[in-house]
Structure 1
Amino acid sequence: MCTHTPKCPSAISPDREAAQVVAAHPEQGWSLLCNALVLFDDTGELLPDGQIITPHRPLAAVTA
């Protein structure tokens, strides 16, 4: 799906979120990347095969 040079990382590679955005829908909270990954604003992901990656946003520092 990627026609960029150099090629974007595949949807199964660890750096998959570095692929370029081909469709952005910030009003709905998601973007489609050129590797067919759907990236959500909460950092969750939907892989092309339907696998779900749960949000992995860093937790805020806990203070006492």
Structure 2
Amino acid sequence: MVPSDDPEPSSTYAGPRPVPPPRRGCPHSPPCPTADSADRDAARVASQHWDQGWSLLCNGVILFEDTGEILPTGRTIEPRRTLPRAACVPRPPAPRRASGAPVTV
């Protein structure tokens, strides 16, 4: 195209549009927690593969169904094991007297 002194060119073509830079980080609002933060599991699921037992989170963390994780750096996080609740632990039977009545403590 030849430059012109005419302030309004006859063509509306303005040339190629600039390509926006690739988006880095989380596109969500509010942004998802980073892979380094303690609440990294709260990030949105970007891709889920329940048939294989894992999900890719928005922050790049791979989360397994047993709560194990692989961080974007390659570091692995062991699955978290929860302790049983007190209500789930069976109590030992109360001691009984020979008469069959429970002993009061």
TM-score, L = length of structure 2? 0.57
Q: 1:55 aligns with which of 70, 79, 89?
A: 79
RMSD between aligned alpha carbons? 1.3
Shift of 1:58: 1.1
- In the alignment, does 2:49 pair up with 1:25? yes
Q: 1:36 aligns with which of 48, 56, 60?
A: 60
Shift of 1:5: 0.4
Which amino acid is the alignment partner of residue 42 of structure 2?
Answer: A
Higher relative contact order (CA 8 A, sep 6+): 1
Q: 1:6 aligns with which of 16, 30, 40?
A: 30
CA shift digits 1:8-43 (9 cap, x unpaired): 000010000000001000000000000000000000
Give the number of the structure whose residues are more often strand, by fraction: 1
Mind listing any 5+ residue stretches in structure 1 that lack a counterpart? none
Runs of 4+ in structure 1 off by over 2 angstroms are 59-64
| Larger gyration radius, structure 1 or structure 2 | 2
Q: Secondary structure at the match of 1:17?
A: helix
Q: Secondary structure at the match of 2:79?
A: coil
Mind listing any 5+ residue stretches in structure 2 that lack a counterpart? 1-24, 93-105
Aligned-pair identity in percent equals 55
